[in-house]
């Protein structure tokens, strides 16, 4: 595995080795991708053709526009449309309002209130380590997942609870892996025996340079270095895990540290232009030093995951692969928007699995930090069609070590981020590696 150090006075995220076998990562120009019909054609009839980023903006407006008739939304990447669920037999004007806003309308039976009530029942009756649940707007049901550790009486309890919600309210499925936080791996930040990934560089509320990473990394050690056994370069300011999120703000000890919101993807840096909410059905990309660049789709929002260390709520569920060493790493879109921080999951990049991410927007609001293109140098330019990434083999030395005081693994993961500079650039398919925790 190729290892790169994060320069002490240059805070660009270090990308780890990019897997070559069937998973080459490319940053290619996508001129058409920037030209979505999101209002550019006055004669376009609803539903509008939208880029994923514009669909996310519309999805954020729909709950307020539709009120109780709103039952979730998702992005249809094939048609490039945002589909909104509207409760049948409710507000007669809701479908018209949604259509006028540019969404494709679908009538469904389950309201968000009913699905939320089902999630509360699961929390009360089935908070079992190794389980997760999230609303899936594509099926208008709650997707409940149990990992391979949920057996015997625990499985019976979970199955009974799901059945009690009704046949059209929730779907239960079994995962072949085990839900854990992801630790150890390639290029990383190190602290107290833990090895984790730097997620995104940000500016703290007081103006000082800082970065976001996973909360389970932040509670594992107070100080972090850019080299194993090296001198600390940053100190944890805030960290949350478990609970209502999995995020940490780590401030650089040297206030003169240059920390642009950009990432190093191997042979160039890519500017991050801002943060955005995830949309179900949206294509997303994850960068990590263990597995390189991987892509997939958002499967659910506001996911609850019951890790061995405790329950974490408010996460993004995806089918993007990851492995130990990717924790804290960056989840982003083709348009250069920061979406999430790698939390944990099950499976691996060979057999697939589920991966959960902390929403960046929630983390930024909680810690009072900002992220954007402030002084980011060397972002991917729209004309550059050269492949990025290259062929490092996955693997490498893993740093074990238990996270201090948390009972969770502390092998921490390293983050890279392959975010795009949203002005005409795009990330090509990242290949066949699917995340496993």
Q: Which helix (H) or strand (E) holds 75?
A: strand 70-76
| Residue 29 CB partners (closer than 8 Å, separation 6+) | 382, 383, 384, 385, 424, 425, 426
- The verdict on whether omega for the bond into residue 283 sits within 30 degrees of 0, i.e. cis, is no
- Catalytic residue, from 216, 326, 343, 436: name it: 216
- Catalytic residue, from 184, 261, 327, 330: name it: 327
Token pair of 307, please?
A: 């890790």
Q: Which helix (H) or strand (E) holds 56?
A: helix 52-66
Pairing of β 70-76 and β 310-318: unpaired
**Number of Cβ within a 10 Å radius of residue 350:** 12
Q: Is residue 327 among the annotated active site residues?
A: yes
* Ranges of H-type helices in 150-284: 152-164, 215-218
Which letter, b or e, does each residue of 157-193 get, where b requires 16 or more Cβ atoms within 10 Å of its Cβ?
ebeebbeebeeebbebeebebbbbbbbbbbbbbbbbb
Q: Is residue 246 among the annotated active site residues?
A: yes
- Catalytic residue, from 246, 295, 319, 348: name it: 246
| Contact (CB, 8 A) for 101 and 61 | yes
Q: Is residue 216 among the annotated active site residues?
A: yes
Which residues are known to be catalytic?
A: 216, 246, 327
């Amino acid at each position: 595995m190729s290892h790169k150090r994060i320069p002490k006075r240059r805070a660009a995220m270090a990308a780890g080795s990019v897997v070559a076998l069937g998973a080459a990562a490319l940053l290619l120009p996508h001129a058409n991708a920037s030209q979505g019909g999101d209002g550019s054609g006055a004669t376009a009839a609803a539903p509008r053709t939208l880029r994923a980023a514009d669909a996310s903006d519309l999805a954020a407006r729909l709950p307020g526009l539709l009120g109780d008739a709103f039952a979730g939304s998702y992005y249809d990447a094939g048609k490039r449309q945002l589909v909104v669920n509207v409760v049948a037999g409710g507000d007669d004007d809701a479908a018209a309002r949604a259509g006028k806003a540019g969404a494709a309308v679908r009538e469904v039976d389950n309201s968000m209130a009913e699905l939320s009530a089902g999630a509360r029942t699961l929390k009360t009756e089935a908070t079992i380590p190794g389980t997760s649940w999230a609303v899936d707007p594509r099926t208008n049901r709650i997707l409940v997942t149990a990992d391979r550790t949920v057996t015997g009486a625990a499985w019976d309890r979970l199955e009974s609870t799901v059945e009690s919600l009704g046949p059209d309210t929730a779907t239960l499925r079994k995962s072949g892996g085990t839900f854990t936080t992801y630790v150890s791996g390639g290029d990383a930040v190190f602290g107290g025996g833990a090895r984790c990934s730097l997620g995104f560089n940000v500016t703290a509320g007081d103006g000082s340079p800082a970065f976001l990473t996973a909360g389970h990394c932040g509670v594992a050690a107070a100080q972090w270095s850019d080299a194993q056994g090296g001198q600390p370069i940053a100190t944890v300011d805030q960290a949350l895990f478990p609970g209502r999120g999995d995020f940490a703000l780590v401030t650089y000890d040297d206030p003169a540290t240059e920390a642009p919101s950009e990432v190093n993807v191997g042979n160039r840096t890519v500017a991050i232009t801002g943060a955005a909410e995830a949309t179900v059905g949206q294509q997303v990309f994850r960068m990590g030093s263990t597995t390189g660049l991987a892509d997939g789709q958002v499967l659910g929002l506001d996911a609850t995951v019951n890790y061995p260390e405790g329950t974490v709520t408010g996460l993004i569920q995806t089918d993007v692969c990851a492995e130990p060493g990717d924790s804290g790493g960056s989840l982003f879109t083709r348009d250069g928007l920061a979406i999430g921080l790698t939390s944990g999951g099950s499976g691996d990049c060979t057999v697939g699995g589920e991966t959960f991410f902390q929403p960046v927007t929630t983390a930024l609001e909680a810690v009072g930090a900002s992220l954007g293109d402030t002084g980011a140098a060397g972002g991917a330019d729209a004309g550059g069609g050269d492949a990025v990434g290259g062929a490092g083999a996955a693997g490498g030395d893993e740093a074990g070590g238990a996270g201090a005081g948390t009972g969770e693994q502390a092998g921490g993961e390293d983050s890279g981020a392959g975010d795009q500079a949203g002005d005409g650039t795009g990330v090509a398919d990242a290949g066949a590696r699917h995340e496993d925790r």
